[in-house]
Amino acid sequence: MYYEYWDLKKPPFDNVPDPTMYADCHASIENAIAETLFAIEEGNECVAVIVGDVGLGKTLSLRIIIDSLDPEKYKIALVTNPAMSFNELLKEIIGQLTGKQCEEKRKINLVEIFNKILFETIDEEKKVLIFIDEANAMSPANLESLRLLTNMQDDRRNLFTIVLAGQLELARRLEHPKRANLLQRIGTFSRIDKIESEDLVRAYVQTRLKLAGGARNIFTDDAYGRLWEYSEQGVPRLINKICKLSLKAGETNQFKQITGEVVHQIGERFRNLTGPAVQKRKPRKRSESKVVAESIEEKPKEVYVKPADLSVDEFLDRRHSAEPASTQVEPVEEPIAAEERAPVAISAEAVAVTEEAPSVEKDISEEIEIAGRKITVSIPVHIIEQAQSSTPEHGLKVAGALAAQILKKHPELMSSPSIDPIHVWSDIRELIVARLK
């Protein structure tokens, strides 16, 4: 095995949530773990939340928290894929708490079974804990059902605690005025960020190597700056991938150490591997009139998207408010701002209405069902080609802009007050992202 070449006892950089490989140099993870343990053990909180971008360590944090708890004091359920109906979610939780599969299907009976488990657990002088990973995948309706579940508490204490972990979209959903009741029940809110500096990336790598049995410096000093660069300034998942590939390359080429040049080559190959595929094709012949028209065409105007009025960092201030948030979210602007808090400039060409000037090539059209209504989504071919030849981030912006345009063209998608416009916009954007690939 490649790690044996480096005198290691086990792989040091596998991307699995292994608490034994935790490097305690990631300050925001340390804070998230400490605050959540407080909410469970001392704070008697009903709900705790952990949010963070992809690859930062949310799942690892949950594993460390669970391993830190006394099994004699708690009954624990961990849901890793909550993208299911609420009845299925409740069946999964009940099955884990009881240790046997739950066959009940009716919601009213499932709630009664769960309530019975709570009081039986209290009689055993224990407490029920429910951990839900990837909670951003939960529908707004399931979040509301979860809030109603929290009403099943004792007059003197909370009978159970729910810990929700998810991407930043989870925080934005919780900020929505319709979920003010759930927002106010959150006892602790933690946000996991990237590893803060190049020096801490060095400490992270060296700690993981030591935990894997390493006793010497495998990476040279100049390698850590490259790791910082190619890991998008401290994303643990990317650090692990680049380090693992570098160790494998070193073993293959019989290197004595991993230098900055090795990390640079691996980082570039990895970046190219994950970059967009550029499709080469022969240029089309254009008519003389079209060439002339293009030569006198005005430069496309820039469409600037307004940033959100409420940031994730204001989350804690909001949850202490007794009044529901009054900030109304405009369905077209809020979803775009949800992806980036700073203004984003997007070419007007990217959001051109498909009914305008007919293209030589046909648009890709598909009938989809959104919010119980069927609509036809059309994506111009030149937009797909543009997205495929640019970065994934640009493709995401284009998809978001197109989704916002579709919402504007189809106001009937948001006719019901129970519909979350952000959720609808997100569903449309995901469809467009898939087509852009």
User: How would CATH label the architecture of 2-17+196-274?
Assistant: Orthogonal Bundle (1.10)
Residue 273: predicted pLDDT: 57
Indicate if the pLDDT at residue 217 is higher than 60: yes
Indicate if the pLDDT at residue 247 is higher than 50: yes
266-281 pLDDT per residue, tens: 998 877 655 554 444 4
Contact call for residues 165 and 61 (beta carbons, < 8 A): yes
Better-scored residue on pLDDT, 409 or 101: 101
Q: Which of 249-263, 393-407, 416-430 has the lowest mean pLDDT?
A: 416-430
Residue 204: predicted pLDDT: 96
Q: What is the mean pLDDT of the chain?
A: 79
The answer for residues whose C-beta is within 8 angstroms of residue 225's C-beta and 6 or more apart is 198, 260
User: How would CATH label the architecture of 27-192?
Assistant: 3-Layer(aba) Sandwich (3.40)
275: tokens are 């970059």
Residue 375: predicted pLDDT: 81
Q: Residue 161 — left, alpha, or beta (φ > 0 → left; ψ -120 to 50 → alpha)? A: beta
Cα–Cα distance measured from residue 323 to residue 407, given in angstroms and rounded to the nearest whole number: 29
DSSP of 133-183? TTGGGS-HHHHHHHHHHTT---SSS-SEEEEEEE-HHHHHHHHSGGGHHHH
- Express as a percent the part of the chain with pLDDT over 90: 51
Name the residue among 378, 374, 346, 370 with its Cα closest to residue 426: 370
Residue 227: predicted pLDDT: 96
Cα–Cα distance measured from residue 337 to residue 327, given in angstroms and rounded to the nearest whole number: 14
324-337 pLDDT per residue, tens: 333 333 333 333 33
- Express as a percent the part of the chain with pLDDT over 70: 76
CB atoms within 10 A of CB 422: 19
Name the residue among 413, 324, 304 with its Cα closest to residue 369: 413
28-52 pLDDT per residue, tens: 999 999 999 999 998 888 999 999 9
Indicate if the pLDDT at residue 115 is higher than 90: yes
Q: Which of 228-237, 288-297, 419-428 has the lowest mean pLDDT?
A: 288-297
- pLDDT-derived band of residue 321, with 50, 70 and 90 as boundaries? very low
What proportions of the chain, in percent to the nearest 5, are helix, strand and coil?
50, 10, 35
What are the extents of the domains in the chain? Answer: 2-17+196-274, 27-192, 303-436
Radius of gyration of the chain, Cα coordinates, nearest whole angstrom: 25
Same CATH fold assignment for domains 2-17+196-274 and 27-192: no
Better-scored residue on pLDDT, 283 or 431: 431
Cα–Cα distance measured from residue 182 to residue 325, given in angstroms and rounded to the nearest whole number: 12
344-383 pLDDT per residue, tens: 333 333 333 333 334 344 567 777 777 667 788 788 877 7
How large is the angle between the packed helices 86-98 and 140-149, nearest 10 degrees?
50
Residue 291: predicted pLDDT: 37
53-105 pLDDT per residue, tens: 999 999 999 999 999 999 999 999 999 999 999 999 999 999 999 999 999 98
CA angle at 140 for the pair 139 and 142, rounded to the nearest 5°: 65
179-202 pLDDT per residue, tens: 888 888 999 999 999 999 999 999
Cα–Cα distance measured from residue 190 to residue 369, given in angstroms and rounded to the nearest whole number: 35
Indicate if the pLDDT at residue 150 is higher than 90: no
Q: In the predicted model, what is the mean pLDDT of residues 152-159?
A: 79
pTM for this structure? 0.63
Residue 387: predicted pLDDT: 74
Indicate if the pLDDT at residue 386 is higher than 70: yes
Residue 357: predicted pLDDT: 38
Residue 161: predicted pLDDT: 94
C-alpha distances in angstroms, 263 versus 218, 225, 226, 239, 351?
12, 9, 6, 10, 39
Give me the residue label for tokens 């060095």: 202
Give me the residue label for tokens 């254009």: 286
Q: How far is CA 156 from the centre of its chain?
A: 35
378: enclosing H helix or E strand:
strand 373-379
Name the residue among 260, 249, 247 with its Cα closest to residue 7: 247
Residue 67: predicted pLDDT: 95
Amino acid 294 reads: E
